[in-house]
Amino acid sequence: MRLFTAVTLGSTIEAHATATLERLHALAPRARWVPSHGVHLTLVFLGEVEESRLPELGEVLHPVSLRHKPLTLSIEGGGSFGPPRHPHVLWAGVGGETATLEALQQDMAAALEPLGFPRDKRLYTAHLTLARSKDPKGDPAFVTCVRALEGRHWGEARVEHFTLFESKAGRYLPRLEFPLGEAP
């Protein structure tokens, strides 16, 4: 199974994502756009994992969920990763309690490391991936998309749990869910 942990953002953000992606698709038609259903913020990518390890992952992730309280995030603005004139990834920005989200991500990464899931060397930056370039040299149309995202506010989402997802055939299947801040 190809696994990752993430927080979901609810129906209001998902509706804004659908409308925004439809509008942006016309600006960068050659990009590989993410599906608007199941909009999420990835916390830790685990990669290929045997299904037999799900109980072990649950035992490690449950205490992480207890140490963190629910939080509120907003989606606003956007940007790109890669060279300024030929970006590779288009993203929407995340606001609100991002320090709380980053603390959750760091705690989770630390808890998973002893199980053989190395921490990402890059600093975690919360963002909502919207599209990826199909061209390895990047997609100059993303520059126009970034301008179109300026000043846009998609709303707020109350995050009350995180989920261990399986990525399978372009769909995200929840395997385990962990409420934040709840007693066992």
Q: What is the structure's pLDDT at 144?
A: 95
3-state class (DSSP) for residue 88? coil
- Say if 144 falls within a structural domain: yes
Question: What percent of the chain clears pLDDT 90, i.e. is strictly above it?
Answer: 78
Count the domains in the chain. Answer: 1
Q: Is 40 a catalytic residue?
A: yes
Q: Which of 16, 25, 62, 127 is catalytic?
A: 127
Closest CA to 71 of 45, 104, 108, 93: 104
Q: Which of 16, 25, 37, 40 is catalytic?
A: 40
- Distance (Å, whole) CA 162 – CA 89: 24
Tokens encoding 125: 């930056």
- Say if 155 falls within a structural domain: yes
Q: What is the structure's pLDDT at 182?
A: 65
Indicate whether 167 pLDDT > 70.
Answer: yes
38-93 pLDDT, tens digit per residue, is 789 999 999 999 999 999 999 999 999 999 999 999 999 999 999 988 999 999 99
Tokens encoding 117: 């899931």
- Say if 21 falls within a structural domain: yes
Owning domain of residue 134: 2-179
- Say if 184 falls within a structural domain: no
Dihedral sign (CA 95, 123, 69, 42): positive
Q: What's 51's domain CATH number?
A: 3.90.1140.10
- Say if 104 falls within a structural domain: yes
